Amino acid sequence: MKMHSNLTMICGWLACASGALAADNVFHGPTFYGDAPDAHHAWAIHDANRPQPLIVTPGTVSTQEQPGKPPSDAIVLFDGTDLSKWEADTGVGVPTKWIVKDGAMECVPGSGYIRTKEKIGDCQLHVEWAAPIHVQGDSQGRGNSGVFLMGLVEVQVLDNYNNPTYADGLAGSVYGQHAAMANALRPPGQYQTYDIIFRRPLYAKGGELLEPGYVTVYENGVVVQDHAVIEGETGHQARTKTMHFPEAGPLKFQDHGNPVRYRNIWYRQLPRRANDGGDDGYLTTEATTAKRAEIAASIRADADKMTGANQTVARTLRYAESLVYTRDDATYQKVEAALLEYVAGIAALPADQVGAKKDEVKHLRDVCRYLAKWKIVPDDYAPKAKLDQAVKDHNWDKR
Ligand code: MG
């Protein structure tokens, strides 16, 4: 409740008449509110300057008869009509011998793996597959294919409906590395869905591992891999070896001699992690400094545009806000001078007009307290002392 009342007060002061979240998807408050940025975090807590995420229209869920619609920002790799985004795994531009039938792409046994022409790195991937309705073979010989992330890491595709096999080779396993945590398969012939979140391993310039790769897999909505560490390429019989992953690679589906079908294949690119050049999350001190300077510059540029006669206070606050991210002497002096001028203006107001300034003065006083708390200004900052005094003189903390 406290947070709500503070928010209401601050937003009210900033005259954010349309409410906290405006229709333009820009959030207008609060400011000088949560913990300030530090050496590893470029944003303050609850930072109104932190960019809003992309607006995504969600897709729809598939039924057996009908594939669902992908989310609005998905990159569709196969929509049931053609293989224009795919090629044989034998060479660039070599046509695949897999076929399109009844809205699905189907493995023609002996034709080899199929792969995307484009290279894909960290992603959210959606794949639907169906094993042949006519059951043949057992264990690894029944409805076997595979989703190869970056062409290197196989999330197993296998008809394990009433068909046991080794646990690290079950459908939904990371083949040979991580057993599937559940067997949530539907009978053969029916479509199964895989929703996969994939992060490749990251390496420092010197080649040492910076952050492991991870894969999370939902099989028909049931989690079967939970942020499983990717140690290296998957393979048969042999223990994997750590290896250097490139930035991206083609998505491949395996030809394991069974006519497995795929449909409704799409992915969404994921934002870069902090260790991968991303600018959000726990950053290095260098990256944090650079990002804070960028945020401060952007806020100052915004303040520069606030030239209206009635924007003096708002402009000063915006300049002050920029100091929370990066010290800039010229801006610091500008803010201090403007605040002192403001206090002098308040002192000169006739008694019947000063009451209308109560909320504004208190807010500026609170801003100064925030700046002092985070060592952006000294404790004895002159505007802070004068604003404190003005609030005290008018007994505004009590009334
Ligand atoms: Mg396989």
Q: Which of 212, 217, 219, 262 is nearest to 240 (CA)?
A: 212
What residues contact 42, with CB distance under 8 A and at least 6 apart? 279, 280, 283, 287, 288, 291, 292, 295, 325
CA 244 to ligand 1 centroid distance, Å: 23
For residue 146, the CA-to-ligand 1 centroid distance in Å is: 4
Confidence at residue 29, expressed as pLDDT on a 0 to 100 scale: 77
Binned average pLDDT, 10 residues per bin, the chain of 399 residues: 40 37 66 97 95 95 98 98 98 97 98 98 98 93 97 98 96 97 98 98 89 97 98 90 91 97 98 92 95 98 95 97 98 98 96 95 98 98 97 90
So what's the pLDDT on residue 72?
98
**240 CA to centre of ligand 1 in angstroms:** 16
**pLDDT computed for residue 27 by the predictor:** 76
Distance 109 CA to ligand 1 centre (A): 13
DSSP E strands, the chain? 75-78, 86-88, 99-101, 104-106, 114-120, 123-130, 145-149, 153-157, 192-199, 202-203, 209-211, 213-219, 222-230, 249-253, 261-269
pLDDT score at 13: 35
Distance CA 165, CA 57 (A): 40
Q: Label residue 347 left, alpha or beta by phi (over 0 means left) and psi (-120 to 50 means alpha).
A: alpha
Which phi and psi angles does 90 have, rounded to 5°? -105, -15
CA atoms 346, 351, 353, 356: torsion sign: positive
Distance 227 CA to ligand 1 centre (A): 21
pTM: 0.88
What pLDDT is stored for residue 22 in this prediction?
43
φ/ψ (deg, to 5) at 28: -105, 20
Structural domains of the chain sorted by starting position, each given as residue range(s) with its CATH number in brackets: 5-53+279-398 (no CATH), 75-273 (2.60.120.560)
Ligand 1 center to residue 142 CA distance, Å?
10
Cα of 344 vs centre of ligand 1, distance in Å, is 77
Read off φ and ψ for residue 124, nearest 5 degrees.
-100, 120
Task: Calculate how far, in angstroms, residue 362's C-alpha sits from the geometric centre of ligand 1.
Answer: 67
Please give the pLDDT value at position 254.
Answer: 97
How many angstroms separate the alpha carbon of residue 18 from the centre of ligand 1? 55
User: What is the structure's pLDDT at 398?
Assistant: 86
In the reported structure, the alpha carbon of residue 345 is separated from the centroid of ligand 1 by a whole-number distance in angstroms of 76
DSSP state of 365: H
